[in-house]
């Protein structure tokens, strides 16, 4: 499902890199529900899956450490490749000027979530000029999601699903009120705070997964509801729950895995490299600056790069979890109370004993 969503986002970006952002927004704006739903599905699915990882972790040390291992190494490599290899190849300015430019230096802040989209003189003559990694705009909000979940874990709220449900209800009411007073502010995607809310709803759906009736009829109704509701961009907060239901229903159907899914997790690599690959393709001139040609060329290239990223970088980074667990055990053995969990038959709560194992 994540691979499908990543591929769909590359398809949408095909309009941006071949028509330019302004023209693409005019066209894609007519299909606003697609833009809004794709990212909402991504964030919801992430919340659902990351909660499973949280509940397997011994403490916040392993939870945060695993998030770092999953996100940072591939992001570091992608940022360096873009700045040191792709940038010099496609820049329109002399290399000495390129490496001396402040845009080159600050671009490396992408590694820590301080997003910068431009490299000096790169893709200067593309329909979407200067922009190297437009997709990275979501990175800070993903980090906010993990920080929010860690805070909810530290305060035990997400270990009591009734309490967490109350938290979601209050958040839903607050977001609806916010939309009422800021309803004139339209956005081609969901507003970032609603993406974070979709993530937190995904957490709630995981906690209540044994009580939620996942069935096709409800999924179709939820899909129609959120598609119609998100088309106009008004009252998006009311339709976050239906779109998260769709994400979770599709996620729990568990179809037979293809070799692509079984061989690795390539969705993150497609997300990281998709846009820059599309910009590289668009840089070869007007003859191939048609969105369908861009997508046909970029999709397999981005997938190939994602496969390389998984097998050369991401998979090896995740193997460091053993060292992370040993580090965690050493810390917990020295600290009597650090905010970690014990398992009980009915719930998971903060306590002084620990159980379970860390997993991605």
CB atoms inside a 10 Å sphere around CB 37: 25
Could you tell me whether strands 340-343 and 348-351 are parallel, antiparallel, or unpaired per DSSP bridges? antiparallel
Q: How far apart are CA 126 and CA 130, in angstroms?
A: 8
Of residues 357 and 180, more confidence is placed in 180
123 φ/ψ sector (left φ>0, alpha ψ -120 to 50, else beta):
left
Q: List phi, psi (to 5°) of 283.
A: -70, -10
Spell out the alpha helix ranges (H) of the chain: 2-19, 21-28, 32-56, 60-81, 87-90, 95-100, 102-106, 139-154, 161-181, 192-207, 216-231, 240-252, 259-263, 267-282, 291-309, 315-318, 321-334
Residues across the chain: 360
Q: Is the pLDDT of residue 160 over 50?
A: yes
Judged by average pLDDT, the poorest of 9-18, 37-46, 343-352 is 343-352
pLDDT value at position 185? 56
Give me the chain's average pLDDT, please. Answer: 86
pLDDT value at position 106? 96
In order of 24, 63, 249, the CA distances from 28 in angstroms are: 6, 38, 27
Judged by average pLDDT, the poorest of 48-52, 54-58, 164-168, 249-253 is 249-253
Q: How far apart are CA 206 and CA 125, in angstroms?
A: 46
Q: Is the pLDDT of residue 57 over 50?
A: yes
Please give the DSSP secondary-structure letter assigned to residue 347. Answer: -
Judged by average pLDDT, the poorest of 29-33, 35-39, 178-182, 331-335 is 29-33
Digit-coded pLDDT (tens) for 342-353: 444 344 433 322
pLDDT value at position 30? 66
Digit-coded pLDDT (tens) for 250-289: 888 877 777 777 788 999 999 999 999 999 999 998 878 8
- List CB contacts of 154: < 8 A, sequence separation 6 or more: 60, 339, 350
């Amino acid at each position: 499902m994540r691979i499908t969503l990543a591929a769909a986002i590359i398809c949408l970006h095909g309009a941006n890199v071949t028509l330019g952002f302004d023209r693409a927004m005019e066209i894609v704006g007519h299909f606003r529900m697609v833009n809004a739903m794709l990212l909402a599905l991504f964030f919801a699915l992430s919340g659902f899956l990351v909660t499973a990882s949280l509940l397997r972790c011994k403490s916040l040390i392993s939870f945060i450490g695993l998030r770092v291992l999953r996100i940072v190494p591939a992001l570091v490599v992608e940022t360096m490749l873009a700045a040191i290899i792709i940038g010099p190849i496609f820049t329109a300015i002399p290399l000495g000027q390129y490496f001396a430019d402040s845009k080159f230096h600050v671009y490396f802040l992408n590694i820590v979530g301080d997003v910068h989209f431009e490299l000096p003189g790169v893709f200067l003559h593309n329909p979407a000029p200067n922009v190297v990694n437009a997709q990275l705009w979501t990175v800070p909000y993903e980090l906010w999601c993990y920080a929010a979940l860690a805070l909810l874990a530290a305060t035990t709220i997400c270990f009591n699903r009734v309490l967490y449900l109350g938290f979601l209800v209050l958040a839903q009411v607050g977001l609806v009120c916010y939309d009422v007073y800021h309803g004139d502010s339209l956005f081609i995607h969901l507003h970032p705070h609603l993406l974070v809310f979709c993530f937190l709803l995904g957490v709630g759906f995981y906690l209540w997964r044994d009580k939620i009736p996942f069935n096709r009829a409800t999924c179709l109704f939820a899909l129609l509801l959120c598609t119609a509701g998100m088309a106009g961009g008004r009252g998006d907060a009311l339709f976050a729950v239906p779109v998260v239901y769709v994400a979770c229903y599709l996620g729990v159907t568990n179809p037979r895995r293809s070799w692509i899914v079984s061989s690795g997790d390539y969705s993150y690599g497609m997300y990281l490299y998709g846009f820059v690959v599309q910009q590289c393709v668009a840089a070869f001139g007007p003859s191939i600056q048609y969105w369908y040609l861009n997508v046909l060329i970029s999709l397999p290239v981005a997938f190939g790069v994602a496969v390389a990223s998984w097998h050369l970088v991401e998979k090896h980074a995740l193997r460091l979890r053993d060292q992370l667990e040993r580090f965690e055990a050493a810390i917990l053995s020295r600290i009597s109370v650090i905010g970690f969990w014990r398992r009980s038959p009915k719930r998971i709560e903060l306590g002084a004993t620990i159980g379970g194992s860390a997993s991605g």
